[in-house]
Amino acid sequence: MENLTLLTFPGLVALSVALLVFHVMLQGNLATRELGSQWNAGPRDEGRKPQGKFAGRAERALRNFQETYPAFIGLALALAIAEPHSWLGLIGAFIWFAGRIVYIPLYLFGVSYIRSLVWLVAMAGLGCMAVALLF
């Protein structure tokens, strides 16, 4: 495992897991602030959802992340096996990862259009990864 650095597909997969955990913790923290620790620790049978601006945005940003995350994981792992030194694939993975980081504050603070542009850039990163795998 000496090659497990941030400049490899396994390294980026590890960082992406940290980003997923950050998303979940951010959403959970904001929801708990609004609804209380008893809600968080309880079974949530009543179906209450946070109504606040930031908690709602964090939840939607998390869902948006979860929509593209399986594609990233699949492409990154396939590239790690098939093309471990693909520069186009690595650049695409970095573009996706950076786009997903930038997306969080843009969504939380309600920055329209630029947020959508950043999402498109992240999707282009997935496209680069797919092209690297295909060719």
pLDDT at 51 over 60: yes
What's the mean pLDDT in 115-134? 97
Alpha-carbon span 94 to 132, nearest angstrom: 13
Q: What is the pLDDT of residue 2?
A: 52
Each residue's pLDDT tens digit, 69-122: 999 999 999 999 999 889 999 999 999 999 999 999 999 999 999 999 999 999
Identify the structural domains of the chain with CATH numbers, from first to last: 9-134 (1.20.120.550)
pLDDT at 50: 86
Can you state the percent helix, strand and coil of the chain, rounding each to 5?
80, 0, 20
- CA gap 99, 113 in Å, rounded: 14
Q: What is the identity of the amino acid at 38?
A: Q
Query: Looking at residue 1, what is its pLDDT?
Result: 47
Cβ atoms of 123 and 68 closer than 8 Å = yes
Residue of 121, 124, 117 lying closest to 88 (CA atoms): 124
Eight-state DSSP code of residue 52: S
